Structure 1
Amino acid sequence: MAKFLQSWQLHPIVDHFTIGLLIVAVLIDLVASAAPTRIWLRYTALLLMILGALAAGASFFTGGMEADRIWNALGQPARDVLKRHDDLGLYLAITFGILAVWRILIQGFGFMAGSRAIYLIVAFVAIVVLGYQGHLGGVLVYDYGAGTALMAAAPVPSEAASPSPAPSSSGAIPMVSVPTPLPTSTAPLPTSSAPPAIPTASASEPMDSPKPANTPALSPTAQPSAAPSDGVRM
């Protein structure tokens, strides 16, 4: 039966009836207190309170089925919200059941009429808490995508897959080698790659004697072509 009801997704439908019936029941009862001659308002509030209490029980039942279906697909923050939402659902279902019985006694027995003011105060606080519980349901759907296609498309968290721990500040600090920049010279590079000319000195001149700038270039010494023979007279 639970599997069959889960496929119908009845929890959102029943929730809307629960919130609407109970809030309107209390508000009508408050208006009826200001108009005691309008007896039909009190009976209307009584009927709505009974129907709202039944809807609150149905909300808790269908909500438990939905929680079983989506629990494993939720992360820990969403599970915390769902747990609070579910606990309030149980407490509110019991509270509105008691309020419905209390309201029947007020309407059916005269000696309970004196507790009407206390009943209205408790019922008003209960619907405020009911509104907060509805807000938690909205957080589950709109913030965490509980029960929606968005949650179905997300990866299912695994207990074994845990994020790697952040490196501790007390551990060894990794050493990083930074290359040292090579010194660069600021002097301008020579424009020509040819080696400078080295002046050469003549063998007949000393190395340390400077050569005049206007001295003509030395010509090679003429060598005699042949030595004179002894039988020929010059």
Structure 2
Amino acid sequence: MDSVTKFLQPLQLHPVVDHFSMALLIVAVLIDLVASAAPTRIWLRYAALLLIILGALAAGGSYFTGGMEADRIWNALGPPAKDVLKKHAELGEYLAITFGVLALWRIMIEGFGFMAGSRAIYLIVAFVAIVVLGYQGHLGGVLVFDYGAGTALMAAAPVPSEAASPSSAPTSSGAIPMVSVPTPIATSTPPPAIPATSASKPTDSPKPGNTPASSPTAQPSATPSGGAAM
């Protein structure tokens, strides 16, 4: 089994098998819905039966090749991409089992008369399954186009993790206080010229006020000196 995996892994078969299985399964269910509206078109039911069988086999191959791709690129992915890949792989496993059961169910509906009454339930379950299949394909697109999983872009520039994004925020926020620190110093340097001019004005105004204060002090000192002379 390991030798088969080593041989198939460089071929990168997962995208081919995955798209092939999605097309087969979606078309099979849609044709079966059309066949229910046109019961006289028996060939539509047989076409849907053949497509659901081929699609179930392709879904198993898609899950197998997807596991090989996950082993190859797992260590090169960041935490967010690993979460998406894990969900994508889990859905792939569940869908492979689901469509295998649906294929057997569809064979029994066509081959055994007592199972014909469950056709409506089968179509409802099959329709829900292809909706989930479309969501799983969306996750695969996120891996490739958003995270570069399995591409040369991933090898050239590894996907940053979530832990790396918060580290950039403190550096940008830390630079802002350093820029705002010199601004108070620059504004405080020009004001010394303003107090100097304001201080000179009060010194000139008290001069007329000093003359009445000096005259009373001189008169009392003169009267005693005159009495002493007499």
Q: TM-score, normalised by structure 1?
A: 0.70
Can you list the C-alpha shifts for 1:156-199, whole angstroms capped at 9, x where unaligned? 779xx9976959xxxxx99x787552623788xxxxxxxxxxxx
Gaps of 5+ in 2: 172-176, 198-230
Question: Given that residues 23 and 127 in structure 1 are in contact (C-alpha distance below 8 angstroms), is that contact kept between their aligned partners in structure 2?
Answer: yes
CA RMSD in angstroms comes to 2.7
Structure ID, larger Rg: 1
Question: Given that residues 73 and 157 in structure 1 are in contact (C-alpha distance below 8 angstroms), is that contact kept between their aligned partners in structure 2?
Answer: no
Match for residue 35 of structure 2 among 32, 36, 48? 32
2:53 maps to 1:45: no
Alpha-carbon distance in structure 2 between the residues aligned to 1:91 and 1:147 = 23
> Paired residue for 2:114?
111
Match for residue 193 of structure 2 among 176, 180, 184? 184
> Paired residue for 1:135?
138
Alpha-carbon distance in structure 2 between the residues aligned to 1:81 and 1:149 = 19
SS in 2 for 1:7: helix
**Alignment CA distance shift 1:103-1:142 (3 Å):** same
Q: How many aligned residue pairs are there?
A: 180
Alpha-carbon distance in structure 2 between the residues aligned to 1:114 and 1:163 = 58
Match for residue 84 of structure 2 among 81, 90, 93? 81
Alpha-carbon distance in structure 2 between the residues aligned to 1:154 and 1:5 = 26
Identity score, percent: 79
SS in 2 for 1:71: helix
Alpha-carbon distance in structure 2 between the residues aligned to 1:31 and 1:78 = 39
Gaps of 5+ in 1: 168-172, 188-234
Match for residue 23 of structure 2 among 20, 23, 36? 20
> Paired residue for 1:91?
94
